Every structure is written in C-alpha cells, then in structure tokens.
Amino acid sequence: NAGVMQNPRHLVRRRGQEARLRCSPMKGHSHVYWYRQLPEEGLKFMVYLQKENIIDESGMPKERFSAEFPKEGPSILRIQQVVRGDSAAYFCASSPGQGWHTQYFGPGTRLTVL
Amino acid sequence: AQKVTQAQTEISVVEKEDVTLDCVYETRDTTYYLFWYKQPPSGELVFLIRRNSFDEQNEISGRYSWNFQKSTSSFNFTITASQVVDSAVYFCALSEASTGNQFYFGTGTSLTVIP
C-alpha cells in the first residue's frame, strides 16, 4: 500500500544543467499535482495533470519548466537550465479525483542549485 | 490577496501544554474544503484533516481538535497536552469548488514543543 513516491529525494545541479524530478502517484490515483516550496514559505501550486494531459498549468513559470504524465510511468517535472532561484523543495501530490478530493503528498525532492 | 493566512509564524510551548494554531481563509465560493497538514523535520507532508464548507461540526481525533467557524472564516487547530513529537510545521490549506485543482496553502506555523 505504497504512498506517493518521489525520486530523487535530494538533487544537486549546477547552474545551466537540467533537473528531472519523478513522481509515482498512489495506486488507483490518476490525478497528479506539483507544488514548489521555497525556503520558509508555504507550498505554491505549479501544475495539475491527468494521464497524458496537462489540465492546469497556471502556476508554472513560463520558461524552462515543463511537466508530463505519460500513459505509462511516473510523472516528470523538468527544469531546464536551472538557476539558483530554482532551489526549493518540490512536492508531488496525487488524488483519486479532482477538486474536493484530499491530495496525498510525496516526501518531496529537495533541489539545490550550485 | 492571500487566500489562507496563518499569522503565527513560530510557536513554542512546554510539553503537556495545550496550543492552538490559527488559520483564516478567504474565498467567494460557497463550496470549499479546508485541510491541515503536518510537516515534521523529516520534510514530508502528512495529511491530518479535511472539512467541507457545509459541515461546521467541530472534530476531535485523540489530542487533536479542529474548530471551524464560517462566521469568522477560521479553521483553527488545537493540540491538547502537547508532546515533543508534535514539533513540526503545520500548514492550513484551502480548495475551492470553482478552481478545484489547486490547494492554496498558508505560510505555515512552526511549532516547537520543549520537553
């Protein structure tokens, strides 16, 4: 009865490199959400995906960030050409449906950009 | 405008004291959902409770209780007889029926329980 899985738990990148964060939702959940938590702040919504579809990306930065949730495999949050300001904890959540359903969070990926 | 406000940034209490964490929210929706999550030092987010806007009954779960008052747009969380293991950052969150997909989180309250 595994929960939401995220890997890696910690990721270190140098400026200009790419970061790939993976998220496997809970069994039976087809809705995935990504949030970013900057130091000393609450979580901010980034994107909501269902299998093969981006439903809401209103919180995604316009450049360098992308997300996907393929038919098979985990959801991927991709950050190209990382900058120091991208250093944060990135949380993935999943739910069995949208809206009122409780979102269950993974342990997060801590990204550090040197 | 901040949809969820947690005015208390940090709270310290001595073990066995009671402590209340405040949460004030703002929404124009008549249907919405409120949540509390706990983030211990290990960093993961642990779901504690969900309430919908039509159910103002207070809830108690062991040492935890929640007071939902629509009249003041508040959803406060009380820990009775606090323990060291309660030390964590606690987040209040709001989900609106109209936007549905995203949760709006407060900035969190860092609780330290001193033995």
Give the tens place of pLDDT for each residue, A3-17: 899 999 999 999 999
Contact list, B95 vs chain A (CB under 8 Å)? 99-100
Contact A98 B43 (CB under 8 A): no
Instruction: Out of B47, B91, B101, name the one closest to residue A56 (CB).
Output: B101
**Is residue B1 over pLDDT 70?**
no
In angstroms, the CA A80 to CA A65 distance is 6
* Per-chain mean pLDDT for chain A: 92
Residue B57's pLDDT band, with cuts at 50, 70 and 90, is: confident
In angstroms, the CA A103 to CA A82 distance is 28
In angstroms, the CA B27 to CA B44 distance is 27
Could you tell me which of A14, A17, A52, A12 has the C-alpha nearest to residue A32? A52
| Phi, then psi, of A24 in degrees rounded to 5 | -110, 120
Q: Is B45 on the interface with A (CB under 8 A)?
A: yes
H/E element, A23: strand A19-24
Q: What is the pLDDT of residue B58?
A: 83
CA B90 to chain CA centroid, Å, is 6
Q: How far is CA B31 from CA A85, B8, B70, B94, B102, in A?
A: 36, 26, 12, 11, 14
Give percent of chain A above pLDDT 90: 76
Q: Which of B102, B104, B109 to mutate to test the interface with A (most CBs of A within 10 A)?
A: B102
Q: Which of residues 49-88 of B touch A (CB under 8 A)?
A: 50, 52
CA max distance for chain B:
44
